[in-house]
Chain A
Amino acid sequence: MSAGSHRVRAGGRIDRNEPRVFSLDGRRLTGYRGDTLASALLAAGVSVVGRSFKYHRPRGFVTAGVDEPNGLFTLGEGGRAEPNAQGTVVQLTDGLRAASQNAWPSVRFDWGAVNSWIAPVLQAGFYYKTFMGPTRRAWMFYERFIRRAAGLGAARHDPDPDRYDTHYLFTDVLVIGAGPAGLSAALAAGRSGARVLLIEQDGLLGGTLLSDPVTGQTEPWRARLEAELQSLPEVRILRHTTALGVYDGNTAILLTRRDHCAPDPGNGEALQILTSVRAKAVIHSTGATERPLVFPDNDRPGVMMASAVRTYLNRYAVACGRHAVVLTNNDSAYAAAFDLAPQIDRVTVVDVRRALHPALTAKAASLGVEVHAATAVTGVLGRTRVRGVTLTPIDGARSRSAPCDLLCVSGGWSPMVHLSSHGGIRPRYQADSAAFVPGGYAPGHFGAGALTGRFSLGEAVQTGWRAGLRAAAECGFERVSADPPAEPEGVAPWDTANHRIEPVWALGGARAGKAFVDFQNDVTVRDLAIAHQEGYESVEHLKRFTTLGMGTDQGKTSNINALAIMAGLRGIELPEAGTTTFRPPFVPARLGALAGRHVGQHFRPVRRSPLHAWHLGHGAQMIEAGPWLRPWYYRWAGETVERAYLEEMRRVREAVGLSDVSTLGKIDVQGPDAAEFLDRLYVNGFARLPVGKARYGVMLNDAGTILDDGTTTRLAETRYFMTTTTAGAAEVMSWLEFLVQTAWPELRVHVSSVTDEWAGIAVAGPKARAVLERALPGWDVSNEALPHMGCLEIEWDRMPVRLIRLSFSGELAYELYVPADYGTAFWEHLLSSGEPFGIRPYGLEALASLRIEKGHVAGAEVDPRLTLNDLGLGRMARPEKPFIGRELAARPLLDSPERPSLVGLECLEPGQRLRGGAILFAASDELKGHGRGYVTSVTWSPTLGKFIALGFYAGGLRHVGEEIVCAFPLYGERVRARITSPVFLDPKGERLHA
């Protein structure tokens, strides 16, 4: 067929004066403004658009909307490539580049079609059994081949160059879907004065009315309502917008596509907008989708939904064939037959029902449409295109074949119950419409139109109007200033609420040929029978066993047929079979749209110390530490971290260094009961801590395991200055607030986070005191005036300084806290004061290595699975005083001497290294399982000239001196090490007391 041969000469909602040039697999094609990719391809005579998932059968378009299972394309290229886009909803734009998927080398000639010959291997349960069963190993082998053949579109690794926005909207009434019911509902609510947000996934308003002839009798009604809605100041209409989900608190998440605007990311224009809308009332007018009938070879290109064929004809001016057979079990499909009849060569209706509405048969006769009642289609001729059908009378008379190039199918209608079910309300079966309808609505939610299982146009307008009034009243808008809109004229006498459907679920019995239930995942009637035989009968099991409904279309066309067929196999009624759970999103959403602008540096907030700018300006290489950016090492000490941290450590051990510790959590604890509060909080006592003294403390959680540690200083009788770990700061603050507000409100104490208010600077090394003497003239910082764990509140340049003598590195060291805004000035003052002593800044790597040499726990050792005893800190606890966690810390198993507890490790093999995460075994152990312990922190110790580590080992320090094995199975490593005390340096503390 030549290009353009299927376009009808006149009519439709396309603009023939505005051609749109696009390409499919590099082939240049032309459509018109108003086309979708699907309508333009059908107009061009492209009938095969993809290959099926498992069997690689040729497939064509089946629908004209969001329920399309077959017509999936990859749009665009590089980082812009969007896989699995439904051609039926993609608006045709100039320059659109589409590529077909799941076929190599082409959709017409596909090597994967060999799967059709080995099909028995791929029957139901193949994936399930190979994943879960004893043949799992085989899956590892086959996976490479199957993935390549069965893939849908491929995801890309390139960064997405497009921009996405997030909006927040508020409204009184949210109307989801602008078909006749939604238009009517929006008008009723809008006229009352309520704020109305009407959303429509299509670019045009009208829903099914858009599939009526443009010159028909419903169009004036549609146009009139659209015009009035646009004139109402409180009504806002979002087109190209789909509701992905409806959530608690009347929140809906909407996705607006803007492809048709060709947005320019360089100009800040978003490709898609994700909107979170909060409404006081929600109207569900989401309509219904036509469902297929199941019969052998019902997937051949040219087998389409009757309503879709009518949409292509009336909206897009595309005749999908010249000789159509319409197969139906209800009255709705006749509209397609009657609209096609004047436009194509021949139309035949095949109706499985015996008794037909006389008005239908009369109209058919007047249009020359042949009608076969009580007849079914039980087979399809043709492979890449329908060439004919097998007709079988229901009463069992002989089958005969009839030629055709288009088979229009209607198995009835399925309400789009997805959104109304997202809150957990299960759909209920309504037998007279053979449909699942919402099982109820959340408070403030209302349903209207075809969603309710009432499919006629008249019911849509009426139920919409009533829902609109009720929703407006829910928001306090009672008055409506005008009568309901007159119903559209020319409604056919056979347009009844249930289309007089007689449900049939599978035609053609056990004949040869595959009868598909789920087109996208290639699930057949036979697969359902296998699932039944194997006992996977419940809906959720059936779904997972056969993969039914697990494609990108989430079973929009397949679920009910599958449920009905399974109910038949089990001999139960359809409602007893139940439905699967409906979950957001209603249609696939791009990750980019969900991320919005939270990408790159905006992914999460970055915390910077008050000294950040100084670090950047003075050669610091920064590193992420949780949300913080901290100096990793400084270039003065070397160009690489491996060289620099050793030099920085040497400076601290031999002279003096300074380091930014502003990230430590800082909490101001004040009040007459501050001492009592801290006594309850820490395992060790703080009530008798003298003013002007600091103490290291450990907190447990209620379960009796480690929460956090840090140094707390008593500034006054009723005031303490607490520091926490960097990582634990937020958690500890929240915990303190919990205790003060809920557990112990009788305590007169206030806690306040001052982390951001104070800059913290550590000065460490044998020359540290000399630096302070020079930096703080007039203040006595001698060993007598300021002994280890002493604190002075002093001033520099009329600015308060908290000077606490404590050491993380094991050297003579101080921490100085100054108001954050003065942090840089004071840091520079310390640097210049220390210049004669060779002071230099040191970073996080050196800080960590210094503390490992000294055996201070931090980071990986402050682990909520561990106890005080595990850390070797058991003697800190004062069990005579109650403290949080005391009771559960005494659980017998937590006290076992065989628990892994803190040890030091030194590497015994020169040239080998220790690794964090290594598993520890005794020398005589077989190297398997979880071993006797693990390594938490490792460093090369320049002081000792070997790799050292901290870790946990069963029995702990009882094994000091033993030689063990550190295994790292991932790299196949095993290294000999010796267990030591965790304190590698200056165990008597002579340096820090100097």
Chain B
Amino acid sequence: MLRIHCPLCGERPYTEFRYGGDAGKHRPVHGAGGIEAWHDHLFLFENAKGPHREFWQHVQGCRQWLIAVRDTATNIVADVALARDARGLEPQGPGER
């Protein structure tokens, strides 16, 4: 079973979390992006095989939104950080713009 190391709560089974989608893309700035930018953000995905930055929320724990780097081929979660802290990180790896 997939296990995610919550920076606040420790390693927990993924059933305590909810998946929140691709975190490899920057959300358009509120009120600034046009239809095109929002369309691309919402509907276009790389569907990468390999490392994938994605949102998870620890809904049955600390309620924090996390960014995890999960390998979509092996399901191994290499890195997890609070989304609040990880936001400044530059996108890296495939599937990110």
Q: Within the assembled complex, what's the spacing in Å between the Cα atoms of A278 and B34?
A: 48
Which of A882, A884, A891 contacts B35, CB < 8 Å? Answer: A891
Given the complex, which residues of A lie within 8 Å of B3, measured CB to CB?
249
Which of A249, A738, A882, A886 contacts B20, CB < 8 Å? Answer: A738
A738–B2 CB distance below 8 A: no
Q: Map CB proximity to B onto A172-183 as digits: 1 under 8 Å, 0 otherwise.
A: 000000000000
How many whole Å from A656's CB to the nearest CB in chain B? 40
B38–A249 CB distance below 8 A: no
Given the complex, which residues of A lie within 8 Å of B35, measured CB to CB?
887-888, 890-891
Q: Within the assembled complex, what's the spacing in Å between the Cα atoms of A744 and B42?
A: 18
Which of B20, B55, B65, B75 contacts A248, CB < 8 Å? Answer: B75
Chain B, residue nearest A884 (CB):
B30
Given the complex, which residues of B lie within 8 Å of A741, measured CB to CB?
64-65, 82-84
CB neighbors of A among B28-69 (8 A): 28, 30-31, 33-35, 37-39, 41-42, 55, 57, 59, 63-65
A742–B1 CB distance below 8 A: no
Given the complex, which residues of A lie within 8 Å of B27, measured CB to CB?
742-743
Known: A738-B20, A742-B83, A745-B87. A887 touches B34 (CB 8 A): yes
Q: Within the assembled complex, what's the spacing in Å between the Cα atoms of A882 and B34?
A: 11
Which of B30, B34, B65, B76 contacts A737, CB < 8 Å? Answer: B65
A737–B57 CB distance below 8 A: yes
Chain B, residue nearest A742 (CB):
B83
Number of interface residues of B (CB under 8 A): 30
B84–A247 CB distance below 8 A: no
Chain B, residue nearest A885 (CB):
B38
How many whole Å from A568's CB to the nearest CB in chain B? 34
Which of A249, A703, A882 contacts B42, CB < 8 Å? Answer: A703
B84–A743 CB distance below 8 A: no
Q: Within the assembled complex, what's the spacing in Å between the Cα atoms of A428 and B74?
A: 19
Given the complex, which residues of A lie within 8 Å of B34, measured CB to CB?
887
A276 within 8 A of B: yes
Q: Within the assembled complex, what's the spacing in Å between the Cα atoms of A702 and B37?
A: 12
Known: A744-B30, A882-B30. A738 touches B1 (CB 8 A): no
Known: A248-B2, A742-B87, A743-B30. A888 touches B39 (CB 8 A): yes
Given the complex, which residues of B lie within 8 Å of A743, measured CB to CB?
27, 30
A239 within 8 A of B: no
Which of B39, B41, B84 contacts A742, CB < 8 Å? Answer: B84
Given the complex, which residues of A lie within 8 Å of B2, measured CB to CB?
248-249
How many whole Å from A567's CB to the nearest CB in chain B? 28
Q: Within the assembled complex, what's the spacing in Å between the Cα atoms of A442 and B73?
A: 12
Q: Within the assembled complex, what's the spacing in Å between the Cα atoms of A887 and B36?
A: 9
Q: Within the assembled complex, what's the spacing in Å between the Cα atoms of A702 and B20?
A: 13
Given the complex, which residues of A lie within 8 Å of B97, measured CB to CB?
none
Chain A, residue nearest B20 (CB):
A738
Given the complex, which residues of B lie within 8 Å of A680, measured CB to CB?
30-31
How many whole Å from A394's CB to the nearest CB in chain B? 47
Q: Within the assembled complex, what's the spacing in Å between the Cα atoms of A702 and B39?
A: 9
Which of B38, B57, B75, B87 contacts A702, CB < 8 Å? Answer: B38
How many whole Å from B96's CB to the nearest CB in chain A? 15
Q: Within the assembled complex, what's the spacing in Å between the Cα atoms of A738 and B67?
A: 11
B1–A251 CB distance below 8 A: yes
Q: Map CB proximity to A onto B3-41 as digits: 1 under 8 Å, 0 otherwise.
A: 100000000000000101000000110110111011101
A702–B42 CB distance below 8 A: yes
Chain A, residue nearest B85 (CB):
A745
The interface centre, meaning the residue of A247, A278, A745, A888 with most chain B CB atoms within 10 A of its CB, is A888
Chain B, residue nearest A882 (CB):
B31
Q: Map CB proximity to A onto B82-96 as digits: 1 under 8 Å, 0 otherwise.
A: 111001000000000
Given the complex, which residues of A lie within 8 Å of B31, measured CB to CB?
680, 882, 886
Q: Within the assembled complex, what's the spacing in Å between the Cα atoms of A197 and B75?
A: 25
Chain A, residue nearest B39 (CB):
A888
Known: A741-B64, A743-B27. A888 touches B84 (CB 8 A): no
Known: A703-B42, A882-B31, A888-B38. A249 touches B1 (CB 8 A): yes
Given the complex, which residues of B lie within 8 Å of A744, measured CB to CB?
30
B59–A734 CB distance below 8 A: yes
B55–A738 CB distance below 8 A: yes
Given the complex, which residues of A lie within 8 Å of B75, measured CB to CB?
248-249
Q: Within the assembled complex, what's the spacing in Å between the Cα atoms of A238 and B62?
A: 36
Q: Within the assembled complex, what's the spacing in Å between the Cα atoms of A741 and B67?
A: 11
Q: Within the assembled complex, what's the spacing in Å between the Cα atoms of A249 and B14?
A: 11
Given the complex, which residues of A lie within 8 Å of B39, measured CB to CB?
888
Which of B20, B33, B82, B84 contacts A887, CB < 8 Å? Answer: B33
Given the complex, which residues of B lie within 8 Å of A249, measured CB to CB?
1-3, 75
Given the complex, which residues of B lie within 8 Å of A887, measured CB to CB?
28, 33-35, 37-38
CB neighbors of B among A662-716 (8 A): 680, 702-703
Q: Within the assembled complex, what's the spacing in Å between the Cα atoms of A745 and B88?
A: 11
Given the complex, which residues of B lie within 8 Å of A248, measured CB to CB?
1-2, 75-76
Given the complex, which residues of B lie within 8 Å of A886, measured CB to CB?
31
Given the complex, which residues of B lie within 8 Å of A737, measured CB to CB?
57, 63, 65
A742–B55 CB distance below 8 A: yes
B38–A738 CB distance below 8 A: no
Q: Within the assembled complex, what's the spacing in Å between the Cα atoms of A184 and B41?
A: 55
Q: Within the assembled complex, what's the spacing in Å between the Cα atoms of A247 and B55?
A: 22
Q: Within the assembled complex, what's the spacing in Å between the Cα atoms of A891 and B74?
A: 38
Q: Within the assembled complex, what's the spacing in Å between the Cα atoms of A745 and B84?
A: 7
Chain B, residue nearest A168 (CB):
B13
Which of A276, A745, A882, A888 contacts B1, CB < 8 Å? Answer: A276
Chain B, residue nearest A680 (CB):
B30
How many whole Å from A499's CB to the nearest CB in chain B? 35
How many whole Å from A750's CB to the nearest CB in chain B? 12
Q: Within the assembled complex, what's the spacing in Å between the Cα atoms of A55 and B59?
A: 54
Given the complex, which residues of A lie within 8 Å of B65, measured CB to CB?
737-738, 741-742
Given the complex, which residues of A lie within 8 Å of B87, measured CB to CB?
742, 745
Given the complex, which residues of B lie within 8 Å of A882, measured CB to CB?
30-31
Given the complex, which residues of B lie within 8 Å of A890, measured CB to CB?
35
Q: Within the assembled complex, what's the spacing in Å between the Cα atoms of A247 and B15?
A: 14
Q: Within the assembled complex, what's the spacing in Å between the Cα atoms of A37 and B34?
A: 71
Q: Within the assembled complex, what's the spacing in Å between the Cα atoms of A745 and B27?
A: 13
How many whole Å from B39's CB to the nearest CB in chain A? 7
How many whole Å from A886's CB to the nearest CB in chain B? 8
Given the complex, which residues of A lie within 8 Å of B28, measured CB to CB?
887
Given the complex, which residues of B lie within 8 Å of A888, measured CB to CB?
35, 38-39, 42
Given the complex, which residues of A lie within 8 Å of B42, measured CB to CB?
702-703, 888
4 closest A-B pairs by beta carbon, nearest first, are A882-B31, A251-B1, A742-B83, A248-B75
Give 14 pairs: A residue, B residue, CB < 8 Å, sorted on A: A249-B3, A276-B1, A680-B30, A702-B42, A734-B57, A737-B63, A737-B65, A738-B20, A741-B84, A742-B27, A744-B30, A882-B30, A888-B38, A891-B35
Measuring CB to CB, which residues of chain B are less than 8 angstroms from any residue of chain A?
1-3, 18, 20, 27-28, 30-31, 33-35, 37-39, 41-42, 55, 57, 59, 63-65, 74-76, 82-84, 87
Measuring CB to CB, which residues of chain A are less than 8 angstroms from any residue of chain B?
247-249, 251, 276, 278, 442, 680, 702-703, 734, 737-738, 741-745, 882, 884, 886-888, 890-891
Contacts A247-B1, A884-B30 given; 5 further ones with Cβ under 8 A? A248-B76, A738-B20, A741-B83, A887-B33, A887-B34
